[in-house]
Amino acid sequence: MSEAKSLPGARKVVIAIDGPAGSGKSTLAALLARKYNYINIETGAMYRALALKAMQSGASLDDGEKLAMLAQQSRIELAPNREGNRVLLDGADVSERLRSQDVTDAASRVSVHPRVREWMVAQQRAMGTNGGIVMEGRDIGTKVFPEAEVKIFLDAAPEIRGTRRFMQSPATEAPEASVLAELQARDQRDRTRANSPLVPAADAVMIDSTYLTLDQVVARAIALIDARLAQSQTTGV
Ligand code: DC
């Protein structure tokens, strides 16, 4: 894939990518960020970092007020690189630790609390004020950047997402069936929580990757983004 921008001098926009676990958001976001020379921000990593901090400090995952306070006292830094984001929690690189199953479950639990989400959304908005970002998560097109120029909702059948997750973690000792069960439980929580549930924005373009290769998904996203950038260049909007 060419790394050159397809439209030199084009205005830098916000590209919002939402979708459930295992839909391929992170891979797509990293490739798009590289192609357009944008900054890639994985917002899930921020929820994961807060979950880890709560686990380390013994804070209850059900206490939203306490968790929001903990978030304010924490330094969560995302350092974008070619593959995604390294994550620093209070200065320590916790990137690998954040991928473990206990943190994954805890992240989904801390993310249900409105006060936690308020804090996260404020941080995330501040990161994208100048555009030039690919931000991926669950509520980017609906809550973080409802005005984003490009919104993609990436989805795939649960069985496919479960298999992809299983294949991505060869070191895992969990059998494929339990990876799928965990993913479905997390999906259910993310989609049904009262505050900012995972739903496509009304103006998001849906890409279902169940029967698509990665190259096909990327090609669709690029076509969409290039059309939007061309439109924004001619209309200034
Ligand atoms: O994308 P991820 O798997 O790293 O996200 C971990 C959890 O964080 C996920 O189960 C839900 C939550 N999350 C969220 O609520 N909103 C976001 N924008 C990103 C993640």
Work out the angle at residue 227's Cα, subtended by the Cα atoms of residues 204 and 83, and round it to the nearest 5 degrees: 70
* Ligand 1 pocket mutation, candidates 41, 48, 111, criterion most atoms within 8 A of CB: 111
Give the C-alpha separation, 19 to 135, whole Å: 12
Per-residue model confidence as pLDDT tens digits over 14-50 = 999 999 999 999 999 999 999 999 999 999 999 999 9
| E strands in 64-216 | 76-80, 85-89, 92-93, 133-137, 150-155, 205-208
Which tokens is 211 given?
């029967």
- Closest residue by CA, ligand 1 atom 16: 138
Domain that residue 155 falls in? 14-231
6 within a domain of the structure (yes/no) = no
Distance of CA 222 from the midpoint of ligand 1 (Å): 24
8 within a domain of the structure (yes/no) = no
Sole residue written with tokens 């479960």: 162
Beta-sheet pairing, 92-93 with 133-137: unpaired
Q: How many domains does one find in the chain?
A: 1
236 within a domain of the structure (yes/no) = no
Query: What pTM was computed for the model?
Result: 0.92
Distance of CA 130 from the midpoint of ligand 1 (Å): 23
Any idea what DSSP says for residue 10?
A: P
Per-residue model confidence as pLDDT tens digits over 89-129 = 999 999 999 999 899 999 999 999 999 999 999 999 999 98
Distance of CA 16 from the midpoint of ligand 1 (Å): 14
Task: Check pLDDT > 80 for residue 171.
Answer: no
130 within a domain of the structure (yes/no) = yes
Distance of CA 198 from the midpoint of ligand 1 (Å): 9
204 within a domain of the structure (yes/no) = yes
> Which amino acid, 134?
V
2 within a domain of the structure (yes/no) = no
What Cα–Cα distance (Å) separates residue 216 from each residue in 19, 42, 210, 223? 17, 22, 11, 11
Q: What is the CATH number of the domain that holds 33?
A: 3.40.50.300
118 within a domain of the structure (yes/no) = yes
4 within a domain of the structure (yes/no) = no
Task: Check pLDDT > 60 for residue 192.
Answer: yes
* Ligand 1 pocket by Cβ (under 6 Å): 21, 43-45, 47-48, 107-108, 111, 137-139, 186, 190
Sign (positive or negative) of CA dihedral 20, 22, 23, 29: positive
Give the C-alpha separation, 13 to 166, whole Å: 34
pLDDT of res. 236: 67
